[in-house]
Amino acid sequence: MNERIEIDIKSEIGELEGVIIHTPGAEVENMTPQNAQRALYSDILNLSIARKEYSQLSGILSKITRTFQVEDLLVKVLSRETSKQELITTICKHENALFLVDELLGIPAKELANLLIIGIPLKMNNLTNFLSHERFSLPPLYNFYFTRDASISMLNQVLISRMANRVRDLECIIMEAIFNHSGVFSTTTVNPLKFGCEDNTTIEGGDVLIARDDIFLIGNSIRTTTHGIDFILSRLITQNDKKKRHIIVQELPDSPESFIHLDMVFTMLDVDKCMVFEPVILKPNRYQTVQITVQNGKVLEIKTVENILTALKSLGMDLKPIICGGSRDPWIQEREQWHSGANFFAIGPGKVIGYSRNTYTMDEMNKNGFEIIRAKDILAEKVNISDYKKYVITIDGNELPRGGGGARCMTMPIRRKNVIWK
């Protein structure tokens, strides 16, 4: 019997040892221009092209680490009668569809896992359903290929997110079941719903970065509220740790929609470098940066600081910012940030993945010592990445960014090696 994998995330950049991903499927095609906005999309995707682009990301990850597909993990949950009944009942109750429970319990695990993701069509067996504007009894999980958001690996635990939009709730329910009942992972899940949190407590994974084992960076965005951040703070207080822990909170603009999470304006690249969207992170603006210090079960200090980099430097992390879109033209910065130009995913210190379309950002990366390597060339075995110490692997991004995210959004890491900090 295989040993369970222990969750261990103490940084954003440690060498990757395991990641959860989800290849976009038919759920993406179960969207129309009419319901795209409700599904949190600004456009509808061409699935065949999106899958080709996604295969570059999943192919690279499969080459360098253990990858786990959400659907495969969900099959494991549904293969156990007790966890199958619990999950199906929870989902149907949440969607006011308890009439489906017996039918779904009779479907084999593999088929059912797929249906829970692509959606359960509404049966036209009565007048109410026939006249309904809905097409599904259980909705398609349009956003599930952004596996970052529904759950958050924090040290050796997994925080189950509380999504800002109800359309994404089922992702959280499924991820909690996966960590608790798939038999693959060894961890403790922490769900805000089980602590009596109110509706205004929302937390999403794109807003939570683990800078170091004692430093959490959290975006206060349209998706993650101050109450959500206070929930994380309360958990740190409860731990009554003798070691000082720090939360650095960055307020984010409410619009445009490309600012939905902190990782759309700030990501870690190396032990001494980060990617930033300059207007929000570095230039004077009205969005506050707040530093909170916790020790021995108490909040020692809450203070406003100049910016994230200043706060990190005061804690011994001196990072050089690389500018999304380059420094020459604010319009180019805005265009490339819109297409997830600041959203990088690290597979190791100085080894990251991003979209090739953001050419000005890639130029900045190259000027700062990162070799630019096409994912296609690695997968075709034209390039051996072990020959390089510092690099960006570029994946095509013509369709995938239409969903509103980049490489970090599409990956949920579960284990990283410890980093040797300078």
Angle (nearest 5°) at CA 27 between 23 and 31: 130
Instruction: Phi first, then psi: give them for residue 359, nearest 5 degrees.
Output: -70, -35
Q: Is the pLDDT of residue 131 over 90?
A: no
Q: What is the per-residue pLDDT for 130?
A: 72
Q: What is the per-residue pLDDT for 34?
A: 59
Q: What is the pLDDT of residues 214-233, one digit of tens each?
A: 999 999 999 999 999 999 99
pTM (predicted TM-score): 0.94
Q: What is the pLDDT of residues 17-75, one digit of tens each?
A: 999 999 999 998 876 555 545 544 556 678 899 999 999 999 999 999 999 999 999 99
- What is the distance between the alpha carbons of residues 222 and 219, in angstroms, rounded to a whole number? 9
Where do the domains of the chain lie?
Answer: 5-416
The amino acid occupying position 58 is: S
Q: What is the per-residue pLDDT for 151?
A: 97
Q: What is the pLDDT of residues 181-209, one digit of tens each?
A: 999 999 999 999 999 888 899 999 999 99
Across all residues in the chain, what is the average pLDDT?
Answer: 93
- What is the distance between the alpha carbons of residues 15 and 416, in angstroms, rounded to a whole number? 5
Strand segments (E) across 213-319: 215-220, 245-251, 266-270, 273-276, 289-295, 298-305
What confidence category does residue 406 fall into, taking pLDDT thresholds of 50, 70 and 90? very high
Which CATH number is 5-416 given? 3.75.10.10
Cβ contact 61:19 at 8 Å: yes
